[in-house]
Structure 1
Amino acid sequence: MVSGLLGLLWSQQRRLIYFPSDGPVPPAATVLSGARDVVLRTADGLELGAWYLPGTGGPAVLVLPGNGGDRAMRAPLAAVLHRMGLSVLLVDYRGYGGNP
């Protein structure tokens, strides 16, 4: 019984660790006022979607949402950082937020 449970957990480990969103991420401006969609091109030719929220010219913050969702879920954090005068770049990993 224990070996069966361990086998099931082992076979489903990716589903238990990674939680990519199901659909496409909405346009940046519909979620964050003043934000814009940007595309980051990788060295191997992929185009990754991201959002940029310009600040007042001071420091910038890079927000990587991690394995639990996409950049839309981190919009409240970006809004708080932006109110502090910071520029914010929200980037999803490959396979998340509609990225290939």
Structure 2
Amino acid sequence: MENCITYFLRDESKNSNEYYRCISNFSNEVIEKIEIEANNIIENFINFIKNNSIEELRSREEYELEFLIIGVLWKTYIAKALNADRLSLNLLKLLFNLRTNRNF
């Protein structure tokens, strides 16, 4: 039955401890890199939110995660976005306006 699962965290080990140690180290490296490379961007964004009363401030880590997600999505989908047809762009614009005006 173990062959039917979509992933297997144990690899050749008796348990998944090595996987979690490895992913923890990787996560720490990513967080450190974001803190070094994007510190000013995130700090400016937090200040913008605070100065314009856009939302109640969240933790810095949440903004760092948001920064990472936006970067991954940008890298993954920017080519498709640049080649989107007019109907798709107009639909996205409409959805953005509805959300911005909170008319949904």
Structure with max Cα Rg: 2
Looking at secondary structure, tell me which structure has more strand per residue. Answer: 1
| TM-score, with length taken from structure 2 | 0.28
Looking at secondary structure, tell me which structure has more helix per residue. Answer: 2
Q: Flag the structure with more relative contact order, 1 or 2, with Cα contacts below 8 A and sequence separation at least 6.
A: 1
